[in-house]
Structures are given as C-alpha cells and as structure tokens.
Amino acid sequence: MVDLLLVREKNMQSFTMLVINWVKPGCEGEYRHLVEPVLDTMRYEPTFINTVLHEDAEDSTRFMLYETWADRDDFFDVQMKKSYRLELEEILPGLLRVPREITFFKALRGDFSFMPI
C-alpha cells in the first residue's frame, strides 16, 4: 500500500494509464495468462496504487488495463525494468493484432465504492 504522506513529502507525481490491447482472435486466453501474473506481482510494488483489467463486453479480443501509480519517474525508471514487466513486453507484441494504445491521465477527483467485481 502506498504511504500517501510520503507521496506528498517527496512531491511524487501520480498518474493513471489506460492501455488498450487488441489481441489476435483466439489469443484471449494466452493474453490473460500472460498479463494476470504481472498484475499479481505489481500489486506489491511500493508505488503501486491500483489496477483493473477489463474485457470489452462486445469484443472479447479487446482488453483495457487501468493502472494508477504514485510516482511517474519510479514507474518508468524502475518498474518498467522489472523482470516480470520485461517478459510481458517481449511476448505481448506477438499476441496483438494492432499496436497497443496508451493514454496517460492525472487524477482530478476520486470517488470509490469498494464493492467486489
């Protein structure tokens, strides 16, 4: 869990990424098999805040990852170089039918209800 006081003291720049992955038909299971261990591991990283993996309700080959991290610099300088991320980065292009779309956002407001998905 991120220490929010530490985030403020260090003036870390939190951010959210939306990542859209269009996998090749028939590769949906392989994609999930590749991504889910990464999600399981990154939840223990010190600057991790949250992530949600979505599947398009009308197209099972379209996935969206919603990831929030407390420190943008740490994400790119440290997290993206972790071995479990590098393995994903190596294998993922072979599963995609088009390059992934990545969009970055900064939070303006957050409202949460902690109901299970």
Extents of the domains making up the chain? 4-105
Q: Which two tokens stand for residue 3?
A: 């220490």
Give the pLDDT band of residue 4 (cuts 50, 70, 90).
Answer: very low
Give the pLDDT band of residue 90 (cuts 50, 70, 90).
Answer: very high
Instruction: State pLDDT tens for residues 27-85.
Output: 999 999 999 999 999 999 999 999 999 999 999 999 999 999 999 999 999 999 999 99
Supply the pTM of this predicted model.
0.83
Coil, strand or helix at 19: strand
The CATH number that domain 4-105 falls under is: 3.30.70.100
pLDDT, average across residues 98-114: 88
pLDDT, average across residues 13-30: 95
More confident residue, 4 or 22: 22
Instruction: Give residue 11's pLDDT.
Output: 59
Long-range contacts from 83-89, C-beta under 8 angstroms, 24+ separation: 84/37, 84/38, 84/41, 84/42, 85/38, 85/42, 88/34, 88/35, 88/38
